[in-house]
Amino acid sequence: MTSTDPIESEPRYVRVTIELVAEITDEDALKAAALTQVRDDEYLEEDERAQAIEAIDVDPSGSLAHFIDPVALLGAVPGVELASATWESAHTEFDPDDETWEEHSLD
C-alpha cells in the first residue's frame, strides 16, 4: 500500500466543531416557532415532548436548539454518514464591536 491508496478497511471519523453566535431579534416569534416544531415532531416521545415544551416556556433562548439539524449539514455530502451529534444553546455575552471576543470565546 502506498500513501495514495485509499484506506477502506475501517471508517475514519472526523470531529467537526462549529461555534455560532445568533442574535435573537424576536424572542416571541422564536418561542412560538419552537413550540410548533416540538408539537409537530413525530419522533418525540410524549414525555420528551412535554419536557421540551416546559423548557421552552422556562427559557425561550433554548428554543433555538430545536432548529439545529446536523443531518441537514452533512446529509447531502457524498461519502459521509453522520455518526453522532450533540449540541446546545446557551446565553453568551457578546459584543459585536469587541474585536477580542473571538480570542476569548475559545478559552
pLDDT tens digits, the chain, 107 residues: what are they? 455 555 566 778 999 888 888 999 999 999 999 999 999 999 999 999 999 999 998 887 889 988 888 888 898 899 999 999 988 888 888 888 887 766 555 44
Contacts of 77 (CB under 8 A, 6+ apart): none
Distances from the Cα of 72 to the Cαs of 18, 21, 32, 56, 86, in angstroms? 14, 19, 22, 23, 14
| pLDDT tens digits, one per residue of 34-57 | 999 999 999 999 999 999 999 998
- pLDDT at residue 107, as a whole number: 47
Unique residue bearing C-alpha cell 412535554 = 50
Rounded to an integer, what distance in angstroms lies between the CA atom of residue 60 and that of residue 30?
8
Residue 9 backbone phi and psi in degrees, to 5? -75, -30
What does the buried/exposed string (b/e) look like for 51-65 if buried means 16 or more CB atoms within 10 Å of the residue's CB?
ebeebbeeebbbbbe
- What is this structure's pTM? 0.69
